[in-house]
Amino acid sequence: MKIDQLMADSGVGFGTSGARGSVEAMTNPVCYAYTQGFLQAMQAQSLIASGAPVFLAGDLRPSTGRILAAVARAVTDGGYRPVYCGRLPSPAIAFHAMQQGAASIMVTGSHIPDDRNGIKFNRPDGEILKPDEALIREQSVTLPEPFPAIDEHDLLSPDPAAESAYLARYRNFFGPDCLQGMRVGVYQHSGVARDQLVDILQALGAGVTPLARSEVFIPVDTEAIRAEDIELGRKWAAEQGFDAIVSTDGDADRPLIANEHGEWLRGDIVGVLCAHFLGIKTLVTPVSSNTVVEACGWFDHVYRTRIGSPYVIGRMNQALAAGESSVAGYEANGGFLLASDIERDGQILQALPTRDAVLPILTILIGAHGQNCPVSQLVSALPPRYTASDRLKNFPTD
């Protein structure tokens, strides 16, 4: 069976970031076949070898455990070693695998409702790009007959190393007292980073109040903030006097940040402020991001791309190949991609060229705290731009 034909038959296809489909369409055989196709494509490029570890993680939606088990079975049957790292942020599993020179797979539907899910595939050097997708589509895979029964309880106990490495990434670079005295609310909902975000902020000295933890999946979309979340932000700020409120989408590759008034910041504003804090010189962003990035005059080079992280990463790679230094990217959803290592005060923040929510959250908070100003003042320093975004709901896909 060719993956290309499987896509047509199942309705599960590649989107702007990974394969996605309805939970009903993402059957165990479909997820197994996609995983086989990915592994074959990686081996065809000599990026992985038989017996190599493949790191796995997932978000908190109800279907994720079953899909993870199907993915793990395909990894094992393909002659590789699955290493299950638990329910973790997408950038956490990608970062840990990259440090090990290994491929990784994240089961997540990101910000979409829980009747859908997805699988993100990462090469040992980062996200798969459009040429990788094309190669996966060309793969012919063979499913076992009869197809085995797969249960999510087949997953082994999580390896804690990926979570530990992600927390250490920020704790080591920024230091233990950089947020001392700051009061931060963490809107937890059903985001997979809800506990790690609290841990990281506390490790940096912030006083943290967890808010609105949910055991029911809530599809938080940072480009189309729900009316109830707008109201919650204002309510929490008024009642509890936070310096900021922070959150992420379902798999923690898109940040949600509110100022001291509980007003949520636009993701493309967050991306510009994050890049400026880090001293980025070359910045890549899709055409959907607003024009403040050019108008502010903070960056030597600004490149625009089509929408989707593979295009942003591809353009960042071109900039690096051309010898440009201090390269990063961001999307209108606020997800930040770091293509170059950043050195500061003898510490190195290693490149992580995939969307991350925690880095922009920390740079906004630390930037405001370091300047002894409210978050709203950071934003007011930018040239005014008027932008809006939302999403169509219940829109037919055929």
Tokens describing residue 207: 């006083």
Q: How far apart are CA 340 and CA 193, in angstroms?
A: 24
Handedness of CA 10, 219, 153, 136 (dihedral sign): positive
DSSP class per residue in 64-124: HHHHHHHHHHHHHHTT-EEEEEEE--HHHHHHHHHHHT-EEEEE--TTS-TTEEEEEEEET
CA distances from 313 to 73, 131, 261, 271 (A): 30, 12, 34, 15
Write phi, then psi, for 351 (nearest 5 degrees).
-55, 145
Q: Are 91 and 355 in contact (CB under 8 A)?
A: yes
Q: Which residue has the tokens 């109040």?
A: 209
Q: What is the CA radius of gyration of the chain?
A: 20
Q: Measured over all CA atoms, what is the biggest interatomic distance in the chain, rounded to whole angstroms?
A: 64
- Catalytic (active-site) positions: 110
DSSP annotation of 17: S
Beta strand 81-87 with 53-58: parallel, antiparallel or unpaired?
parallel
Q: Which residue has the tokens 């007011």?
A: 380
